[in-house]
Copies of this chain bind each other. A is one copy, B any other.
Amino acid sequence: MTPDATTGTGHDDVGRARRTSTDLLRRVEDTLRTLLAGERDAWAEVHEQAVVPIEALSELIASGGKRIRPAFCVTGYLAAGGDPDDPGIVAAGAALEMLHLSALVHDDVLDDSSRRRGVPTVHTQHAALHDSRGWQGESRRYGEGVAILVGDLALVYSEELMAKAPASVLPEWNRLRSEVMIGQYLDVHAATEFSVDPRSSRLIARIKSGRYTIHRPLVVGANAAGRGDLAPAFEEYGEAVGEAFQLRDDLLDAFGDSADTGKPTGLDFTQHKMTLLLGWAMQRDEHIHRLITQPGHTPDELRRRLVDTGVPADVEQHIADLVERGCKAIADAPVDQVWREELVDMAVRVAYRNA
């Protein structure tokens, strides 16, 4: 072991911690695939058509994804000193990812998004199938109906998984889920009026990203290890890093490459999402509202105008400040130094990702 002079943490410690975390995340992945494979086999015996909604979820898992929520859950658990051999934490991580699959499938209907993780979205796939077969009824209603049921099924499987985690996670799990549904509603509703309302935009970003993606998964992990005392530090870290995560999301939607993100760019514009980025830009340049809500503008025109406001550069600075704030929040948390370092690394990774 080579102790680091300033922190007392050895490279071996960091390496060992990372391996434990990676191993748990591999088991999360196995758990997701095993559950779906088992369900698929059981339903194949009942009716050949019954496997379709299950396979839709398997395909979504196979097509990639960052597994951010399981990663924070597992890190929260290990940082809290949880036993890596306890299967409960693997179930909790898998439950968070399965819930996220449900949210993605439903979200893609809400936003009428055509691609996810580089492949056609569930509702798009099934509407196209309906079209190509010349089936009875309306293709759109069929495709969206299938996506509603596929998302519902994932929500149900996420519960089955979380029921295998320690009961101490339930209050936080309950808050996380009802909160994300209501946050989604606020988001959809705000888009209908598309007026600058920094209080609402901030609340939606905090609920949908900070809490859902980082803060509550960390607390679920800590609670699974019986360390409720870590909630305040994880909340402060999660809210700051979560806002950075969301701001990066806004920038990737506006300026990113859909080959990297696996989904269309400019969706926030077409869906009139009042993101923090757009809200700030519209406060500086009223013309942007018109560019978004009236037909005829080109995406490049809109992007140029956004850059001219100076907001994207300010957002980059704000992301850097938020990451720093998140790191400060964790600096004095009563967890092993090796996990503080890991959380700093994770903050940087989510804030400066390209997908």
Contacts and interface: CB of A to CB of B under 8 A. Distances in A.
Interface of A: 39, 43, 46-47, 49-50, 52-54, 102, 106, 109-110, 112, 130, 133, 135-137, 141-142, 144-146, 148-153, 155-157, 159-160, 163, 170, 174, 177-178, 181-182, 184-186, 188-189, 191-194, 200, 203, 271-272, 293
Given A156-B177, A194-B136, A182 B50 contact: yes
Given A136-B293, A178-B156, A146 B188 contact: yes
B181 A152 contact: yes
Given A137-B272, A145-B188, A159-B174, 16 more contacts: A39-B178, A47-B186, A49-B200, A50-B186, A106-B149, A109-B144, A109-B148, A112-B141, A136-B192, A136-B293, A142-B188, A146-B188, A148-B151, A159-B159, A160-B174, A160-B178
Contact of A155 (B144, B156, B184): B156
Nearest to A195: B136
18 contacts: A47-B203, A49-B189, A50-B182, A53-B185, A54-B182, A112-B141, A135-B193, A136-B193, A137-B191, A137-B192, A142-B188, A146-B188, A146-B189, A149-B182, A149-B184, A149-B185, A156-B174, A159-B177
A232 B192 CA distance: 52
B110 A192 contact: no
A157 B159 CA distance: 11
B110 A141 contact: yes
A177 B53 CA distance: 14
Nearest to A129: B192
A46 B203 contact: yes
- Say what secondary structure dominates the interface of chain A: helix
Nearest to A135: B192
Contacts of A150: 185
A160 B130 CA distance: 36
A153 B158 CA distance: 14
Nearest to A271: B137
A133 B159 CA distance: 38
A157 B189 CA distance: 21
A78 B332 CA distance: 54
B53 A182 contact: yes
B137 A106 contact: no
A136 B182 contact: no
Contacts of A177: 156, 159
A153 B141 contact: no
A163 B271 CA distance: 37
Contacts of A137: 191-192, 271-272
B156 A163 contact: no
Contacts of A271: 137
A191 B133 CA distance: 13
A141 to B, nearest CB: 6
Contacts of A163: 163, 170, 174
A216 to B, nearest CB: 14
Given A141-B112, A192-B130, A153 B136 contact: no
Contacts of A192: 130, 133, 135-137, 142
